[in-house]
Structure 1
Amino acid sequence: MSVVQGSGRRPVVVVGAGLSGLSCALHLLGAGRDVVVVEREDHPGGRAGRQDMEGYRLDTGPTVLTMPELLDEAFAAVGETLRDRIELVPLAPAYRAAFADGSTIDVHTDRARMAAEVARAAGTREAVGYLRLRDWLTRLYDVEMRSFIDAQFDSPLDLLGPDLVRLAAMGGFGRLAPAVGRHVKDERLRRIFSFQALYAGVAPDRALAAYAVIAYMDTVAGVHFPRGGMRMIGEAMAAAAAKAGADLRYGEPVSRLERSGERVTAVITDQGERIACDQVVLTTDLPAAHRLLGHRPRRPVRQRFSPSAVVLHLGTDRTWDHLSHHTISFGAAWQSTFTEIIDQGRTMSDPSLLVTQPTLTDPSLAPEGRHLFYVLAPAPNLEAGAIDWDEEGRRYRDHIVSTLESRGMTGLDASVRAEHLVTPADWARKGLARGTPFSLAHTFTQTGPFRPRNTVPGTANAVLAGCGTTPGVGLPTVLVSGKLAAARVVARTGSGVLR
């Protein structure tokens, strides 16, 4: 292989061209390191994947983009801007929340507009409570970002400091649902500002209040959509990395790592190619990364994985006026929903669903006159439930469609012209542990310094990135994860400055 820019130094090899790997690559390039990115798929993006279906352009991973400034930071490392590469469309509303009683609440990120919407839907007192909640979320984010999200952890002692005291004083170590409930009493508002806990793999009444920071990202910082689909993020980051000198290799799964003592000396692909490396960054699913390293984590508590999701992609010949770009369709059930998924390992009997219609913002994602829907139903992972998804998948698909029809999408089934169903079994076939794309749950023992670190004991030059390590699950946090991994590499070699 060639050494980028002729430095004579072996490159850093990044395994995986997902968003954490591309973030890491951009930050390393900005610090003057030579980078090779090896990806098993034939395109970048990782879990922010893509698939074409009869003229429909599917985003198979995340559909909600928040905190675009973190993307901008990665582009800035190589002298570019996000605006150079991607056209972002701010979504207003960020979500539309639809409830079983027929009411709706539009979630706006503009302070005054959202206060007016809360007053319309729930009264003036609740609008005042919303403003208090918004201020609390903002303070929470400010503390957490600088000291707990965009931060390296080598020991629980790294938590100690003034911001730990501030977080505790704000109630960050209490429970999420009661913390939200101290500000707003309306059950619908409580759901809007706490359902995000499921992204972190925990029910709102069990999640740390600190995870209200996800609600900040959604409801205060704002939600955006990249024209061309979420797939544009990986494509743009990969293009910027290539322009800055990275060697990106697609369609090359990594089979093993060559080691000499505590050092990884080369990455070996399935085709038998040997890529010598100075350092290696592994962004694969966490168990896969440990298998490559020959490392078995020692933890006093068994690792717990997040719930999974059933995703139904539908190409239709019609749309429905009551839907927004993102619509959260809440069932009447709430607490029992989390009990079914997490504790009982069952599918939701009265499902709450995220319905995304990207063609409402970008019609080019479907054939002319057609519409594209992405329906996400949280589901138990393969460890929590004993569901035969190859048998149950189609039946649950029918349950989801009939549920949406009963909630206003009349004639949905008859309108479908193309579809693609993804179940936990499909996630497992993609190599994701326990059949979940959301990796480890954010329980207390898997949060902050207690989450698997991005360094590996007994390995001198391997670093981890991605949603299984710090800081955790979610598009913004995996971008930070890549940046933190790059900082580890630069600190170990003592060369370059991470920007």
Structure 2
Amino acid sequence: MKRVVVVGAGLGGLSAACHLAGAGHQVTVVERHAHPGGRAGRLTRDGFSFDTGPTVLTMPDLVAEAFHAVGAEMDEHVRLRPLDPAYRANFADGSTIHVRHGREAMAAEIREQCGPGDEEAFHRFCAWLERLYQLEMPKFIARNYDHPWDLARPIQPAIALLKLRALGKLANAVKRYFRDERLQRLFSFQAMYAGLAPQEALAIFAVITYMDSVAGVYFPDGGIAAVPHAMAAAAEKAGVEFRYNAPVRQVLHDSDVRGVQLVDGETIEADAVVVNADLPGAYDLLPKLTLPRPLRSPEFSPSALVWHVGVRGLPPDDVAHHNIHFAAEWESSFRSLLRDGRMMPDPSVLVSVPSRTDPSLAPPGDSTLYVLEPVPNLAAGKVDWSRERDASRERLAARLETWGYPTDVVAEELVDPHDWARQGMGAGTPFSMSHRFFQSGPFRPSNLDRRVRGLVFVGTGTVPGVGVPMVLVSGKLAAERVNAL
């Protein structure tokens, strides 16, 4: 048994705490806020409740795995409902395609909207995605790397990846299956979660499409923030100690971890420290260490302008929980965002209406909206947010009205890249470093800093990467590192 301090009660830190406690360690979680959640937080205002971080939850089995680690059942702590449709995709030509829950239902939707040729292609596409996921998850995603050549050790999975044409471009891979351009967009936009355009992302990232559009999207009663609260409750019941309102000043170490010092001066001794702060900012807690090479000039993902809106009234009946409004422009918009560092001239926008699924998130007869537009990060962007902030809010409001959403605003919160930066997120993006090839797998910043024995990292900035499923896996990988000390 080791004494382990986990710094930060985000989803990665909570996953690590559950897996560490399940392995028999003495675990203390220190969190600067008054509650768990980290990036998956909650904002309550005038009777409206908003999820301030991720809004799309996939792969519930990974959530359940963290509960199982501490001998708990997920369903006893939080209820996840499958969303059907997972998305309502709206296109510039006025057409709509629903991403249905379950393969047969989605195949029927494609047959109706796109024809039998693309329906047949969907079944082949799902079979390819399934093979890709079954290969990638155990062999390349849910594993710790010590050297770059671990990618090809053992060699058989790497050969299988090549045979699946997974190192080509994602956009091209999707085009091989579907003739309808709408489906090409619908099954490749997920590359944006990895900070890349579909035209530049490798086909290996089709596993995100599998998680998102094939395995299904879920929503917890009480919103996404209910998940970290439930995980913390299960971990605490299993013996994990939680210290809230306890910001950390620094991690204490020489060649070995000694513990952490809180801002109030208290010292907590430990044999290992798992840091859930966002990389590279986590090194602010390690003033004796210089940044490792992968963190000295990282390439960050685009950021997001997020508008949390509480409005009077309900949306039309055809509005789903998640609604994607695809713009007419596609490749040129990505060039503006990713190459030129400018606002998309014709952006695609996500509008989520969580109160559609859980009416308790808004007063009776009202609605909670979450509106997201991709925008440049602060490192590569050329946007003057002192001018753009209010103008963007007005443009989003006009779009909501055009699309038929209620717009009588009662409560609101607008989050731009500077707000993300104030929360400690590098380059003002909640999506961390992009997943270009040399920032993925063994090339992504390690969850170990070998200069200090017992120092481990967890979260979006380390392996395996960005997204709720990946962060939950990162907690398990961090626990494996501690177990091996």
Q: Gapped runs of 5+ residues in structure 1?
A: 1-8, 493-499
SS at match of 1:316: strand
Cα displacement (A) at 1:200: 0.3
Residue 308 of structure 2 corresponds to residue 308 of structure 1: no
Residue 318 of structure 2 corresponds to residue 322 of structure 1: yes
Identify the residue that residue 235 of structure 2 maps to in structure 1.
Answer: 241
What is the TM-score when the length of structure 1 is the normalising length? 0.94
SS at match of 2:323: strand
Identify the residue that residue 131 of structure 2 maps to in structure 1.
Answer: 139
Cα displacement (A) at 1:130: 1.2
Cα displacement (A) at 1:252: 1.3
Q: 1:299 to 1:421 in 2, by over 3 A?
A: closer
Residue 256 of structure 2 corresponds to residue 263 of structure 1: yes
Cα displacement (A) at 1:404: 2.8
Identify the residue that residue 8 of structure 2 maps to in structure 1.
Answer: 16
**Once the two structures are superposed, what CA deviation does each residue of 1:28-86 show, in whole Å capped at 9, x if it has no partner?**
00000000101111110111111111111110000111000001111001111111111
Cα displacement (A) at 1:325: 0.5
Residue 175 of structure 2 corresponds to residue 215 of structure 1: no
Cα displacement (A) at 1:301: 8.7
Cα displacement (A) at 1:387: 2.0
Counterpart amino acid of residue 490 in structure 1: N
SS at match of 1:286: coil
SS at match of 1:304: coil
**Once the two structures are superposed, what CA deviation does each residue of 1:194-234 show, in whole Å capped at 9, x if it has no partner?**
00100100000000100010000011111110011111001
Alpha-carbon distance between aligned partners in 1 of 2:386 and 2:316, rounded to the nearest angstrom = 31
Identify the residue that residue 431 of structure 1 maps to in structure 2.
Answer: 424
Residue 222 of structure 2 corresponds to residue 228 of structure 1: yes
Counterpart amino acid of residue 313 in structure 1: H
**Once the two structures are superposed, what CA deviation does each residue of 1:424-470 show, in whole Å capped at 9, x if it has no partner?**
11001111110001101000001111111111131111011100000
Counterpart amino acid of residue 307 in structure 1: P
Identify the residue that residue 433 of structure 2 maps to in structure 1.
Answer: 440
Identify the residue that residue 340 of structure 2 maps to in structure 1.
Answer: 344
Alpha-carbon distance between aligned partners in 2 of 1:237 and 1:42, rounded to the nearest angstrom = 15
Counterpart amino acid of residue 183 in structure 1: Y
Alpha-carbon distance between aligned partners in 2 of 1:300 and 1:48, rounded to the nearest angstrom = 24
The one of 398, 410, 419 aligned to 2:412? 419
Identify the residue that residue 157 of structure 2 maps to in structure 1.
Answer: 163
Alpha-carbon distance between aligned partners in 1 of 2:149 and 2:72, rounded to the nearest angstrom = 37
SS at match of 1:466: coil
- RMSD across aligned C-alpha pairs, in angstroms? 1.3
Identify the residue that residue 453 of structure 1 maps to in structure 2.
Answer: 446
**Once the two structures are superposed, what CA deviation does each residue of 1:66-118 show, in whole Å capped at 9, x if it has no partner?**
00000111100111111111111110111110001110000013111111111
Identify the residue that residue 5 of structure 1 maps to in structure 2.
Answer: none
The one of 84, 90, 93 aligned to 1:98? 90
Identify the residue that residue 383 of structure 2 maps to in structure 1.
Answer: 387
Alpha-carbon distance between aligned partners in 1 of 2:35 and 2:211, rounded to the nearest angstrom = 28
Alpha-carbon distance between aligned partners in 2 of 1:170 and 1:408, rounded to the nearest angstrom = 42
Kindly indicate whether the alpha-carbon contact (under 8 Å) linking 2:304 and 2:374 is maintained by their aligned counterparts in 1.
Answer: yes
Q: Gapped runs of 5+ residues in structure 2?
A: none
Cα displacement (A) at 1:418: 1.3
Deviates more, 1:388-397 or 1:100-109: 388-397
What is the TM-score when the length of structure 2 is the normalising length? 0.97
Counterpart amino acid of residue 371 in structure 1: S
Identify the residue that residue 187 of structure 1 maps to in structure 2.
Answer: 181
The one of 356, 363, 366 aligned to 1:367? 363
Cα displacement (A) at 1:129: 1.0
Number of aligned residue pairs: 480
Alpha-carbon distance between aligned partners in 2 of 1:300 and 1:357, rounded to the nearest angstrom = 37
Alpha-carbon distance between aligned partners in 2 of 1:35 and 1:391, rounded to the nearest angstrom = 46
Residue 471 of structure 2 corresponds to residue 475 of structure 1: no
**Once the two structures are superposed, what CA deviation does each residue of 1:259-312 show, in whole Å capped at 9, x if it has no partner?**
22x112120111111111110001101112223232311249931000000101
Identify the residue that residue 35 of structure 2 maps to in structure 1.
Answer: 43
Alpha-carbon distance between aligned partners in 1 of 2:484 and 2:391, rounded to the nearest angstrom = 52
Q: 1:274 to 1:491 in 2, by over 3 A?
A: same
Alpha-carbon distance between aligned partners in 2 of 1:276 and 1:253, rounded to the nearest angstrom = 15
Aligned residues with identical type, % of pairs: 52
SS at match of 2:280: helix
Alpha-carbon distance between aligned partners in 2 of 1:302 and 1:47, rounded to the nearest angstrom = 23
The one of 380, 396, 405 aligned to 1:400? 396
Kindly indicate whether the alpha-carbon contact (under 8 Å) linking 1:390 and 1:425 is maintained by their aligned counterparts in 2.
Answer: no
Alpha-carbon distance between aligned partners in 1 of 2:325 and 2:7, rounded to the nearest angstrom = 38
Counterpart amino acid of residue 366 in structure 2: R
Alpha-carbon distance between aligned partners in 1 of 2:295 and 2:413, rounded to the nearest angstrom = 40
Where do 4+ consecutive residues of structure 1 move more than 4 Å? none
